Structure 1
Amino acid sequence: MSSHSSPGSGYWYGPDDRLDPPGAILQALRDYRISEAATRRSTQASMGMGETDLLALRYLLRAEAGGERVGPKDLSRILGITTASTTSLIDRLVASGHVRRDPHPTDRRSLVIVPTVVTDSAVRATLGDLHRRMMAVAEELSVEDARIVIKFLRRMSEAITEPPQR
């Protein structure tokens, strides 16, 4: 049995980085997830909205920046929520002034959901400094180190989404 799979392994018990590098890596990931979740909760509280609302706004802002039009069906699909939940979500975001419903420019029967200028400013004010700090950390990596980190994180994503072996 290797040191990283022993019962005293560092993933849960505070690794000694020199003796248990895999455990130290998993602990660092766990620490990051805890920090990221706390930041997400703080952001949600400061903006007065839930996680799905913020995910919708982030998607809408990114789509708008890319020149894409987003309709309610697109939001339902991207967020993995029902059309009824999407309608409630859009109603909340319209009522709070974060988005507006506009007629689709080429399909009179359809609507597009557009983030307001106020929303773009609020999201930038709330998350801009955080994103700058995170980007500064990423920019410190060499190209080779960045490739290694990207490959590692993608493989970890695959590992946690893979169905359990029976």
Structure 2
Amino acid sequence: MEREELPTIFNLASSDPRSELIDRSGLSDETLQQIDHIMAEMGRLRAVERKISRASQRYMNLNETDMRAIRFLISAKNTSISVTPGMLAKHLVITTASVTKMIDRLEKAGHVVRTSHPTDRRSLCVTVTAETHMAAREQVGRHHAARFGAAARLSAKEREVVIRFLSETARDLEDSIASVGERAGDDA
């Protein structure tokens, strides 16, 4: 299988050539090259994940929101959680009206079924069908399971470094969203 090339759009020379966004003073050339390599590998990971997502959507004939709903329903089924349409709307961050239309479409296609809630007679539950669960497991689950090997091959100390890096990256990105939002509010 042909490997995805490392993207060059994430390197500092092409994305911030005049150091307007990132202060590089005090960092050696070796450090900057390593950081560029990390950013390129993260870009390749995102590209591969998008490729898997598109292939899975085509295979199952679903859009991205539908796939997120199916994954949520499978996770709920695996943990014995009864999912209501309201819970699904909250998880997907869409309106209950949109969820109703989505459930109608998924039910018609044989991906989900509506059932009575086990403890609240006024409420309905949405569950994934066995066929869709199996298709998702074979199509999407196997790809996601491949990540386990990379993590298992690391030492405990290496995993702690990766966990810290991913956690800090997510936090810094979330902070940047808030910061950009605050600056946009200042312009209004």
Could you tell me the TM-score, scaled by structure 1's length?
0.86
The CA deviation string for residues 8-66 of structure 1, in whole angstroms up to 9 with x for no partner, is 89xxxxxx977511121112111111111111111111110001111111111111111
Counterpart residue number, 1:25: 38
Could you tell me which runs of 5 or more consecutive residues in structure 2 were left unpaired when the two chains were aligned.
1-11, 20-28, 184-188
Output aligned runs, 1:74-93, within 5 Å: 74-93=87-106
% identical equivalent positions: 36
- 1:17/1:115 Cα in 2 relative to 1: closer, same or farther (>3 Å)? farther
The 5 A counterparts of 1:24-103 are: 24-103=37-116
Q: Which amino acid is 2:158 matched to?
A: D
Alpha-carbon shift at residue 128 of structure 1 (Å)? 3.4
The aligned residue for residue 164 of structure 1 is 179
Partner Cα distance (1:124, 1:48) in 2: 15
Q: Say whether the 8 Å CA contact 1:17–1:24 is kept in structure 2.
A: no
The match for 1:12 is none
Q: Is the 8 A contact 1:69 1:112 kept in 2?
A: yes
The separation in 1 between residues aligned to 2:143 and 2:86, in whole angstroms, is 31
Could you tell me how far apart the structure 2 residues matched to 1:94 and 1:17 are? 55
Higher relative contact order (CA 8 A, sep 6+): 2
CA distance in 2, matches of 1:119, 1:89: 15
Structure 1 window deviating more from structure 2 (27-36 vs 66-75): it is 27-36
Q: What SS class does the counterpart of residue 20 from structure 1 fall into?
A: helix
Specify whether residues 8 and 140 from structure 1 end up closer, same or farther in structure 2 by C-alpha distance, changes over 3 A only.
farther
SS state of the match for residue 121, structure 2?
A: coil
Asked whether the equivalents of residues 85 and 126 of structure 2 are also in contact (C-alpha less than 8 Å), the reply is yes
- Unpaired segments ≥5 residues, structure 1: 10-15
